Structures are given as C-alpha cells and as structure tokens.
Amino acid sequence: MKQFACGSVVPGCVATFEGADEDAVLQQVAEHAKRDHGMDEVPPEVVAQVRENITG
C-alpha cells in the first residue's frame, strides 16, 4: 500500500491518500489538486515532488 500526505508538498494541507501503487495515489492527488488547489493540470515538477514523498 502506497501513501502520500499532501502537506509534504503543500504546507498546511491535511489531505492524505493511499492506493495499491503510485499510479493509484497519483490519480487521487490529481483530482485533489484540481478540486482543492485550483490546479487544472499538475505540473511535472509537482508530480516529481509527489513521487518523492510517496511512502510504503
């Protein structure tokens, strides 16, 4: 099980995600970024930061 805490990239955000693999987590993070952070598209550098902070 992979896990990610948004606060590790966006200070103050308390959202957390978990999935069977990185792709499952990244899909949830992309939806969260659009809905809660107003990002229509997640820039590659942010995706890289998210990948670096996925645990499990």
Burial zone of 10 (CB within 10 Å; 0-12 exposed, 13-18 middle, 19+ buried): middle
**Token reading at 30:** 């992309």
Output the pLDDT for position 31: 98
Output the pLDDT for position 56: 97
Q: Name the pTM for this structure.
A: 0.92
Segments making up each domain of the chain, as ranges: 2-53
For residue 15, the one-letter residue type is A
**Token reading at 46:** 């942010």
Output the pLDDT for position 6: 98
Percentage of the chain lying above the pLDDT 90 cut: 100
* Residue pLDDT, tens place only, 1-42: 999 999 999 999 999 999 999 999 999 999 999 999 999 999
